[in-house]
């Protein structure tokens, strides 16, 4: 690891107790951040901007993290965060500001006008891959330390005064002493599991279907996203740029990618989007195809001792509401504020309030994502009554500005309170 990478380290103490052939180094920082996804990297930038030392420890390579095709829609708070951190130049050039979305019900589209319904709020279509590239590109010049390909990353002594994180890399075991640990390691990370089961409570809904997604270098069907509720299942026409489209269709969980050649995917997506939208769909060869399961999950509390969880490590939403990345941003905004207050005033008051404050916003996004999923997907156990209720609710949204306003307010993102 380059010496400059470790500009924040107070001490490098070889451990004499280890056997001669076992190497160990001991380092120190203020905040150890586990995971270099959106939560970990936004937190690292926020702390760096306030002069707080942090080290990010990531299990994968930069290429792997940057290559994952995930979120596409940024709420206003995420756009503002990119701006406040001085990371918005490319987003402003290449991102697409969207004033609304379309919802197609059994092939008939109608529009939700966010700007008109919310007093001017919009969302930004700018892929998570682009956000990660901007965060990583600026990390080096700003002196943000990232350890890539760290194995066996483990948080220790989280309820004591001196927590630390250990990992292995290139045959060297490293111990990072710190004041706090931020668990930003996603749904499959180690941080949540470090909290005792007697403390942690998980609330969960697993949906009996997934999303089959496709990326292709073809122009989008519409200037805005089209969410489709169809008796064959949900579909979504999204985009990454004026020349790159992202489509999804609801699928069963045991679906196999090899059973979905491009032609079959395009036929099914067009059927569900309906004739008006299908007439504008440009088909083309896919260069990425994947299936994602859908889940709603929240763990409480989001803090135990000196370990703080943020982003997918603490909660998962189904992608229907486009909230996952944005929730990671709101969590770390609150966590960074609390850490700054601690280091400035020596008061733990804001840190003590972090979990409750973050969860209040998380649960509202969970509610919206669950509701929007229930509204637009086909559930195998739906009886005729449920189908009629779903149709009535969609018609209510189509015809009521009051109902549209609530959808719009939640989609563009609730304020941080
Ligand atoms: P991440 O992105 O999972 O990053 C966690 C990082 O931690 C690393 N890690 C470890 N590092 C060290 N040691 C360990 N033991 C580790 N275990 C894991 C991982 O390698 C990874 O780099 O979590 P984070 O930062 O909380 O960010 C969450 C978002 O990535 C996620 O919520 C969004 O992608 C969700 N999402 C969407 N969110 C939106 O806001 N808008 C959208 O339009 C949107 N669309 C989507 C989505 C997610 C999707 N999928 C595939 C789940 C569409 C899809 C299809
Ligand atoms: C995407 O473009 O990947 C996307 C957009 C909106 C969603 C989910 C995913 O609700």
Query: CA distances (Å), 313 to each of 90, 118, 193, 316, 327, in order?
Result: 28, 31, 10, 8, 11
Of the candidates 292, 396, 243, which has an alpha carbon nearest to the alpha carbon of residue 69? 292
Strands 164-169 and 315-316: what pairing? unpaired
Identify any residues that bridge with 103 across adjacent strands, giving them in sequence order.
110, 227
Tell me, using a 6 A CB cutoff, whether residue 220 lines ligand 2: no
Residues 39 and 147 in one domain: yes
Our answer to whether residue 343 is catalytic in this structure is no
Residues 223 and 324 in one domain: no
Residues 263 and 281 in one domain: yes
For 238-284, the pLDDT digits (tens) are 999 999 999 999 999 999 999 999 999 999 999 999 999 999 999 99
Let me know if residue 232 belongs to a domain. Answer: yes
Our answer to whether residue 342 is catalytic in this structure is no
Boundary-marking domain end, from 353, 370, 387:
370
Task: Confirm if 184 and 192 have CB atoms less than 8 A apart.
Answer: no
Let me know if residue 80 belongs to a domain. Answer: no
Of the candidates 176, 154, 183, which has an alpha carbon nearest to the alpha carbon of residue 10? 176
Catalytic one of 319, 354, 372, 377 = 319
Our answer to whether residue 411 is catalytic in this structure is yes
Let me know if residue 93 belongs to a domain. Answer: no
Helices vs. strands in the chain: H and E counts, helices first: 12, 21
Residue with tokens 């993290």: 65
Residue-wise DSSP of 303-325: EETTEEE-GGGTEE--GGG--HH
Q: Which tokens is 251 given?
A: 């699928």
Closest ligand to the CA of 238: 2
Let me know if residue 78 belongs to a domain. Answer: no
Domain of 175 in residue numbering reads as 3-7+23-72+129-200+301-370
Tell me, using a 6 A CB cutoff, whether residue 153 lines ligand 1: yes
Residue with tokens 């090899």: 258
Burial per residue of 104-125, b for 16 or more beta-carbon CB atoms within 10 angstroms, e otherwise: bbebebebbebeebbeebebbb
Identify any residues that bridge with 250 across adjacent strands, giving them in sequence order.
211
Residues 233 and 343 in one domain: no
Q: Which tokens is 244 given?
A: 């790159």
Tell me, using a 6 A CB cutoff, whether residue 322 lines ligand 2: yes
Of the candidates 15, 18, 103, 6, which has an alpha carbon nearest to the alpha carbon of residue 57? 6
- Residue 30 sits at the vertex; the CA angle it makes with 5 and 128, to the nearest 5 degrees, is 65
For 129-172, the pLDDT digits (tens) are 999 999 999 999 999 999 999 999 999 999 999 999 999 999 99
Let me know if residue 17 belongs to a domain. Answer: no
Catalytic one of 304, 315, 323, 377 = 323
What phi and psi values does residue 103 have, to the nearest 5 degrees? -125, 125
Question: What is the 8-class DSSP label of residue 160?
Answer: S
Of the candidates 404, 186, 221, which has an alpha carbon nearest to the alpha carbon of residue 297? 186
Residues 28 and 134 in one domain: yes
Tell me, using a 6 A CB cutoff, whether residue 294 lines ligand 2: no
Coil, strand or helix at 45: helix
Residues 136 and 188 in one domain: yes
Task: Tell how far the Cα of 188 is from the centroid of ligand 2, in angstroms.
Answer: 21
The closest residue, in CA terms, to atom 27 on ligand 1 is: 38
Task: Confirm if 18 and 309 have CB atoms less than 8 A apart.
Answer: no
The closest residue, in CA terms, to atom 44 on ligand 1 is: 71
Number of domains in the chain: 2
Residues 211 and 267 in one domain: yes
Task: Tell how far the Cα of 71 is from the centroid of ligand 2, in angstroms.
Answer: 6
Residues 54 and 139 in one domain: yes
Let me know if residue 311 belongs to a domain. Answer: yes
Direct distance between the N- and C-terminal alpha carbons of the chain, in angstroms, rounded to an integer? 41
User: Cα–Cα distance between 384 and 141 in angstroms, integer?
Assistant: 59
List the CATH number of the domain containing 176. Answer: 3.50.50.60
Our answer to whether residue 109 is catalytic in this structure is no
Strands 201-216 and 96-98: what pairing? unpaired
Residues 273 and 229 in one domain: yes
Q: Cβ neighbours of residue 140 under 8 Å, at least 6 residues apart? A: none
The helix (run of H) or strand (run of E) holding residue 208 is strand 201-216
Task: Confirm if 97 and 124 have CB atoms less than 8 A apart.
Answer: yes
Residues 157 and 55 in one domain: yes
Residues 51 and 102 in one domain: no
Our answer to whether residue 98 is catalytic in this structure is yes
Tell me, using a 6 A CB cutoff, whether residue 176 lines ligand 2: no
Residues 109 and 256 in one domain: yes
List the CATH number of the domain containing 245. Answer: 3.30.9.10
Tell me, using a 6 A CB cutoff, whether residue 292 lines ligand 1: yes
Tell me, using a 6 A CB cutoff, whether residue 238 lines ligand 2: yes
Let me know if residue 16 belongs to a domain. Answer: no
Q: Which tokens is 75 given?
A: 């709420």
User: Cα–Cα distance between 382 and 233 in angstroms, integer?
Assistant: 12
User: Cα–Cα distance between 144 and 6 in angstroms, integer?
Assistant: 9
Q: Which of 227, 248, 326 to mutate to test the pocket of ligand 2 (most atoms within 8 A of CB)?
A: 248
What phi and psi values does residue 91 have, to the nearest 5 degrees? -60, -40
Let me know if residue 79 belongs to a domain. Answer: no
User: Cα–Cα distance between 107 and 408 in angstroms, integer?
Assistant: 21
User: Cα–Cα distance between 166 and 158 in angstroms, integer?
Assistant: 13
Q: Cβ neighbours of residue 28 under 8 Å, at least 6 residues apart? A: 9, 10, 11, 176, 177, 178
Q: What is the CA radius of gyration of the chain?
A: 22
Q: What is the pLDDT along the chain (417 residues), one digit of tens a residue?
A: 333 334 333 333 334 344 445 678 999 999 999 999 999 999 999 999 999 999 999 999 999 999 998 888 999 999 999 999 999 999 999 999 999 999 999 999 999 999 999 999 999 999 999 999 999 999 999 999 999 999 999 999 999 999 999 999 999 999 999 999 999 999 999 999 999 999 999 999 999 999 999 999 999 999 999 999 999 999 999 999 999 999 999 999 999 999 999 999 999 999 999 999 999 999 999 999 999 999 999 999 999 999 999 999 999 999 999 999 999 999 999 999 999 999 999 999 999 999 999 999 999 999 999 999 999 999 999 999 999 999 999 999 999 999 999 999 999 999 998
């Amino acid at each position: 690891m380059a010496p400059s990478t470790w500009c924040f380290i107070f001490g490098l103490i070889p451990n004499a107790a280890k056997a001669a052939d076992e190497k160990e180094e001991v380092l120190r920082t203020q905040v150890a951040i586990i995971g270099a996804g959106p939560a970990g990297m936004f937190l690292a930038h926020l702390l760096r901007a306030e002069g707080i030392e942090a080290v990010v420890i990531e299990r994968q390579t930069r290429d792997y993290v940057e290559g994952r095709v995930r979120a596409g829609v940024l709420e206003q708070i995420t756009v503002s965060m990119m701006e406040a951190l001085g990371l918005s130049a490319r987003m402003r050039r290449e991102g697409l500001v969207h004033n609304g979305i379309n919802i197609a019900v059994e092939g008939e589209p109608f529009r939700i006008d966010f700007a008109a319904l919310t007093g001017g709020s919009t969302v930004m279509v700018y892929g998570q891959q682009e956000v990660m590239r901007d965060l990583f590109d600026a990390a080096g010049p700003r002196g943000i330390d990232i350890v890539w390909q760290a194995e066996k990353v483990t948080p220790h002594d989280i309820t004591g005064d001196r927590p630390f994180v250990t990992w292995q890399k290139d045959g060297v075991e490293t111990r990072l002493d710190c004041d706090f640990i931020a668990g930003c390691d996603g749904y499959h990370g180690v941080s949540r599991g470090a909290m005792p089961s007697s403390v942690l409570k998980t609330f969960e809904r697993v949906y009996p279907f997934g999303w089959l997604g496709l990326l292709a270098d073809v122009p989008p069907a519409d200037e805005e996203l089209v969410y489709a509720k169809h008796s064959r299942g949900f579909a979504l026409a999204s985009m990454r740029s004026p020349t790159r489209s992202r489509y999804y269709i609801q699928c069963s969980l045991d679906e196999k990618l090899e059973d979905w050649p491009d032609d079959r995917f395009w036929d099914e997506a067009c059927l569900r989007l309906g004739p008006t939208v299908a007439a504008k769909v440009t088909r083309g060869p896919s260069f990425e195809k994947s299936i994602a399961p859908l889940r709603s999950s929240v763990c409480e509390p989001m803090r135990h001792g000196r370990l703080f969880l943020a982003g997918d490590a603490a909660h998962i939403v189904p992608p229907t509401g486009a909230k996952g990345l944005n929730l990671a941003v709101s969590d770390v905004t609150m966590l960074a504020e609390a850490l700054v207050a601690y280091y400035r005033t020596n008061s733990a008051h804001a840190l003590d309030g972090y979990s409750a404050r973050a969860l209040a916003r998380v649960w509202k996004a969970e509610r919206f994502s669950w509701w929007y999923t229930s509204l637009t997907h086909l559930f195998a156990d739906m009886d005729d009554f449920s189908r009629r209720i779903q149709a009535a609710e969609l018609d209510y949204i189509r015809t009521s500005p009051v109902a549209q306003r609530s959808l719009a307010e939640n989609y563009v993102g609730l304020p941080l309170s």
